[in-house]
Amino acid sequence: MQVESRKSAVLPWVAALAVMVLWASSFVVIRGVGVHFSAGAMALLRLIVASVALGIGAMLYRPRWPGTAAAWGWILLWGVSWFGVYTVVLNLAEQHIDAGTAAMLVNVAPLLVALASGVLLGEGLPARLFVGIGVSMAGIVVITLATTTGRLTVAGVVLSLIAALLYAGSVLLQKWRLTGGDSYAVTLVGIVGAMVACTPFFGDLADDLGAASSASVLAVVYLGLFPTALAFNLWGYALKHVPAGVLSSSSLVVPALVVLLSWIALAEVPPLLAILGGGLCLSGAGFSIVPHIRAALRRPEPVGEPARSPTG
């Protein structure tokens, strides 16, 4: 019984690690196919693929759909903001600013989430969390200095900061309003809502598909299936069991994983400074979240209370 309790306690962290790896891989894939797809077209194709995959899964899984109009409204607001507007804004930002600098600016989001969830959601403001975030953000700055192209515009900075605000707001809204529902249904409804919101980019997508290589199209299909459909379901599951501020701080390992995956997949040997920055990212995130993992493993399951399923 104790083994099962520990297993259920560690599963959200396993899910969070899988999410970070998948999100990191998306940066590598986008880097390779961004020249073939415009910002809106790439977002729309990614969302179409994710919607179809999750729709097929829903016929087998039979999720529990939202029961009220208010619930549908909150999910659609979250989905359009998170899957639609955030993705398009980030893609646009990287047309004006290099990926390393964009990642540095967007990763202001975990700090915003930690502050807001501590004040608004009652999660507290633990000093350890903010020290860990600070160390990781220092690592992100180091990675940026090592990999930046020096390409910087006001539009790129503004768009990246807007993306960070959308990221933080979406995580907080999900924790505040949406973790009580079926995570599969919430993710599916949110993605379909974002797809509908992105349909004005259909003409751009048709043009891009006519010119893109099959490898580039398959790469965007990968983005829809794994970093979107699978990763956001795992994220929703993890967010049910982990404080929003702590979970968001785990995304600070993404820049370090991007450096590693670029090395493996694209043979881009990272500068020594980038490796040092990656080490800082991992150290800071570990400092923030490892105590919470240990506490979860030590916490006994309440007698007579069944463990929550991934779908709530």
Residue 29 placed within a domain = yes
pLDDT at 7: 57
Sign of CA dihedral 271, 272, 276, 278: positive
The pLDDT value recorded for residue 150 is 56
User: For residue 227, what pLDDT is reported?
Assistant: 94
Per-residue pLDDT tens digits for 70-115: 999 999 999 999 999 999 998 888 777 766 667 667 777 777 787 7
Predicted pLDDT at 209:
96
Assigned domain for 310 exists = no
**Is 268 among the domain residues?**
yes
pLDDT in the model for residue 100: 61
pLDDT digits (tens, 9 = 90+) for 242-275: 877 777 777 777 777 877 777 777 666 667 776 7
- Does residue 39 fall inside a structural domain? yes
Residue 60 is assigned to a structural domain of this protein: yes
Q: Model pTM?
A: 0.80
What's the pLDDT at 124? 66
Write out residues in the chain with pLDDT < 70, as ranges: 1-8, 98-101, 103-104, 122-125, 144, 146-153, 266-270, 274, 278, 285, 288-312
Q: Is the dihedral of CA 122, 125, 126, 131 positive or negative?
A: positive
Q: Both tokens of residue 19?
A: 């999410």
Count of domains observed in the chain: 1
Domain of residue 68: give its range: 2-298
86-93 vs 99-106: helix axis angle to the nearest 10? Answer: 140
pLDDT of the residue at 299: 57
Provide CB contacts within 8 A for 266, sequence distance 6+.
Answer: 28, 31, 32
User: Does 309 map to a domain?
Assistant: no
Phi and psi based region of residue 64 (left: phi greater than 0; alpha: psi -120 to 50; beta: remaining): beta
- Residue 14 lies inside a defined structural domain of this protein: yes
